[in-house]
Amino acid sequence: MDGLFLGLSGIDFGKKFRNNRDCAEYLYSIKWAGGYVCTVCGCTSGIKGRTSLHRRCSNCKYDESVTCNTLFHGVRMPLLKAFHLIFRTVCKKKGMSSVELATEVGVQQKTAWKFKLKIKNAMVQESQAKLQGDVQVDETLVGGYSEGCVGRSLEEKTAVLIAVEDIGGGKTGNIRMEVIESFKADIIGLGMDSMVATNAKIKTDEHKSYGKLKKEGRDIEMTKSEKGASLDQLHKQIMCFKLWLRGTHHKCKPSYLQTYIDEYVFRFNSRNARVSIFNSIIFKFMNAVPKIYVDLIVPCVQNT
Ligand SMILES: [Zn+2]
């Protein structure tokens, strides 16, 4: 094991991880990088366990495998395939649908889809920071089939709140997006609280809900929409998200829109650190308490 894998090249990835053992050794070096601590009794003295990829506590004799207490725990496919699924999901600029992933890695589509939920879960944790500074906020509708209908109906479309950091010079910082129940002021207010720092300067359009929030004492600057020109960076993100959703995942029902939003936000926010994305996700896998699939499946259901 010589250092962390950094990069986006599939050839380099294939050289670094040739078999299950390479992957397990990689995880081993991460798991106990800060020194060994027994998860049962807290003892810091450990010896070689049942295999070279286990550590056994000198005190209570608990034998822990490299994947125990991580998101890799209970994953039935070989580690090498799991590594390939992570690499392809996070390192390809636009991501892949689970159908494409399954074909490339050689697993069943359902296996790829289930494992991708874990990857998405790790992605969410990675992009939860609240937005700071100048922040543009707006709401939009995603999906639905009644393109021709006048006005905005929530019946077939899903309401989404979007916040974008404006870092000056026409550049965008980080973004956040959340599915919301409706465009009512209190719902939008809650969405803003979860995505934007309290000291941020918020700029929005003239939707009446923002007026109500302003009256309640929120520091919000409301500008005329001018067909999107006044919140240009935000509207660019809305457009890019909708294009990505249609282009990569083809279809998406309202119940699982948030998981796709999470994936898009993660991709966008880590666009300048793409070479280290694989590792940040592996670290999340190693440091997260294992979640059972059932937890991850709510509220999403099987899609592409
Ligand atoms: Zn112990």
Q: How far is the CA of 279 from the centre of ligand 1 (A)?
A: 28
CATH number assigned to the domain covering 134-255: 3.30.420
**148: confidence class by pLDDT, cuts 50, 70, 90:** very low
Q: How far is the CA of 29 from the centre of ligand 1 (A)?
A: 20
**290: confidence class by pLDDT, cuts 50, 70, 90:** low
Q: How far is the CA of 64 from the centre of ligand 1 (A)?
A: 10
**276: confidence class by pLDDT, cuts 50, 70, 90:** confident
Cβ atoms of 140 and 113 within 8 Å: the answer is no
pLDDT at 208 over 50: yes
Beta strands in the chain (DSSP E): 46-48, 54-57, 63-65, 134-142, 158-166, 172-180, 201-204, 220-222
Mean pLDDT of the chain: 84
Locate the domains of the chain by residue range.
10-31+70-127+277-297, 134-255
Q: What's the pLDDT at 24?
A: 94
The CA angle 29-25-65, to the nearest 5 degrees, is 85
Q: How far is the CA of 22 from the centre of ligand 1 (A)?
A: 27
Half-sphere exposure of 288 (CA within 13 A, CB side): 21
Q: Which residue has the higher pLDDT, 87 or 52?
A: 87
Tokens of 162: 């979007």
Tokens 């003239």 map to which residue?
Answer: 206
The CA angle 98-104-110, to the nearest 5 degrees, is 35
Q: What's the pLDDT at 104?
A: 93
Q: How far is the CA of 47 from the centre of ligand 1 (A)?
A: 11
Of 25-34, 170-179, 252-261, the range with the lowest mean pLDDT is 252-261
Cβ atoms of 130 and 265 within 8 Å: the answer is no
Q: How far is the CA of 45 from the centre of ligand 1 (A)?
A: 8
Q: How far is the CA of 291 from the centre of ligand 1 (A)?
A: 23
Q: How far is the CA of 61 from the centre of ligand 1 (A)?
A: 6
Cβ atoms of 195 and 163 within 8 Å: the answer is yes
Q: How far is the CA of 59 from the centre of ligand 1 (A)?
A: 5
Q: How far is the CA of 62 from the centre of ligand 1 (A)?
A: 5
Average pLDDT of span 103-117: 93
Average pLDDT of span 148-153: 47
